[in-house]
Amino acid sequence: MATIKEIKVPDIGDFNDVPVIEVLIQAGDTIKVEDPLITIESDKATMEVPSSEAGVVKEVKIKVGDKVSQGGLILLLESTDAGEPAVASVPTVSPPPAAVSAPAGVAEVRVPDIGDFTDVPVIEVLVKPGDSVKAEDPLITLESDKATMEVPAPLGGVVQEILVRVGDSVSEGAVILTLVTGAVSTVTSSAPVAATSPTTNASPATPLPSPVAPTAAAGVIDETAFRLAYAGPAVRKLARELGVDLGKLTGTGDKGRIIRQDVEAFAKRGDSAPTPSASASASASGAGLDLLPWPKVDFTKFGAIETRPLARIKKISAANLHRNWVMIPHVTTHDDADITDLEAFRVQLNKENEKAGVKLSMLAFMIKAATFALKKFPEFNASLDGDNLILKQYYHIGFAADTPNGLVVPVIRDADRKGVIEIGKEMGELAKLAREGKLKPDQMQGGSFTISSLGGIGGTYFTPIINAPEVAIMGVCKSYWKQVSPDGKQSAWRLTLPLSLSWDHRVIDGAAAARFNVYFANLLADLRRVLV
């Protein structure tokens, strides 16, 4: 006899109030055990919730946008009672209650929020298919030009498939692996239903069926693009069955997710779906400038050479710097700041705080002065987003720190709320972490303005490259003594600090840049101006 059963959200780990981003069934659908019902997405993983029963959907109790937790009602299902003889002989329809405690699900584990980093190389894969992992166990290791970081598991389960390998580059949202999750039955080898129970077949201990091979009519699939496409396991399975390359699709689901309808529509129209042209891709990346090819030279013809690989961090930095230089219309304005009195004050403060271990550099004063200049000229504390200017109400100042592995940019957060001594202490701590390679990603994120100081190394002026998505950067060189005559009659020697302000001409014009530089220089000449 038919009965109406409630199908609820199974154990999904420690997640609560997880948004539903896709409903995969509707009233009247006939479903089997393990058919996906809904797709939910936490801040760390996307997972499909499968059915624990077979039958006909009578009523769907959930919609896209709803938030669910374990035990939440998904739908009402018209199911055949397990005690009816005609069905009892088919264990795949109704497994014995003792064989299952809750259905297993397959979750896509994605790269979480890693700040402003994109295309970060994978340098280590720490798990393999079949491994059992717990929440927070490390899965892969990434290395940007500024930090090395491990990506942890958002929930426990068994690794089903690894979708990245060493050398791949990933960004936030990229799929790392699929994980069989949820509570599943533990059936001993003597259990007579172990070989046929659908729950046992779906358990982590047994590999899931391989994806169906693409049809003969399908084109060649770009496996890397396919793996990184934003789509759930059921959609991926359908795409492989239809021979559809997910890397060519634009998702119409929430947040650009590729859904079943996208795959079916693409399959109907074949390979005619528009894809970005090579020239469009080149333009977006700053390439395709119609330049002559880079010259290939056999340098050994001219003398002895030594070939040394470019350091990994320098290669990554080079790509970011090249993008920023090519895509941002840089202009640099130079000026001088009289820091004679400020230098005397700095030396005095260091003497007064010598026992406390405080040693202030001029950079600490520049960071503090920058916060006042940014408040007076808010367009310098901004980012360009299409046709909109994002004016930031916070003042997080980055400073370039020299390390054995290259330059990194730690960030002093809320510098406007901190005194010079506090800024100096924090700079020292961050610089030490940078030299030891222990800076965390969040200690290099969120900067709204950057100061690049060459300190006492040398130089007079230079053109610092803007640290996108910021719109300006201040460069300073070694201070030097200069004879000046303010009134044209008497001259005096003054300690002078060269300033080089680079700015994004799409946002800032020359007059504003000149005013910013003058104001910044005047603050350094006399910090009492901040009281006015």
Q: Are 412 and 426 in contact (CB under 8 A)?
A: yes
State which CATH number among 3.40.50.300, 3.40.50.1580, 3.40.640.10, 3.30.559.10 fits the domain covering 320-531.
3.30.559.10
Residue whose structure tokens are 């997880």:
18
Q: What is the pLDDT of residue 280?
A: 36
Mean pLDDT, residues 454-465 taken together = 87
**Cα(37)–Cα(31) distance, integer angstroms:** 9
Q: What is the pLDDT of residue 36?
A: 86
Is 330 an annotated catalytic residue? Answer: no
Q: What is the pLDDT of residue 434?
A: 86
Q: What is the pLDDT of residue 33?
A: 84
**Terminus-to-terminus CA distance in the chain, angstroms?**
85
Residues of the chain with CATH 2.40.50.100: 1-104, 110-179
- Burial letters for 321-342: b for 16+ Cβ neighbours within 10 Å, e otherwise? beebeeebebebbebbbbbbeb
Indicate the average pLDDT of the chain: 79
pLDDT tens digit string along 289-324? 566 788 889 999 999 999 988 766 667 677 778 888
**Residue 411 class from Cβ within 10 Å (0-12 exposed, 13-18 middle, 19+ buried)?**
buried
Rounded to two decimals, the pTM is: 0.50
Mean pLDDT, residues 358-368 taken together = 93
Topology of the domain covering 110-179: OB fold (Dihydrolipoamide Acetyltransferase, E2P) (2.40.50)
Task: Calculate helix-pair angle for 420-435, 362-376, nearest 10 degrees.
Answer: 110
pLDDT tens digit string along 100-128? 333 457 888 888 877 777 888 888 899 99
Range list of H helices, 353-399: 362-376
Topology of the domain covering 1-104: OB fold (Dihydrolipoamide Acetyltransferase, E2P) (2.40.50)
pLDDT tens digit string along 369-390? 999 999 999 999 999 998 899 9
Highest mean pLDDT among 53-57, 145-149, 390-394: 390-394
Closest CA to 95 of 130, 56, 51: 51
Residue 179 corresponds to which amino acid? L
Catalytic residue among 322, 334, 396, 505: 505
pLDDT tens digit string along 165-186? 988 989 888 889 988 876 433 3
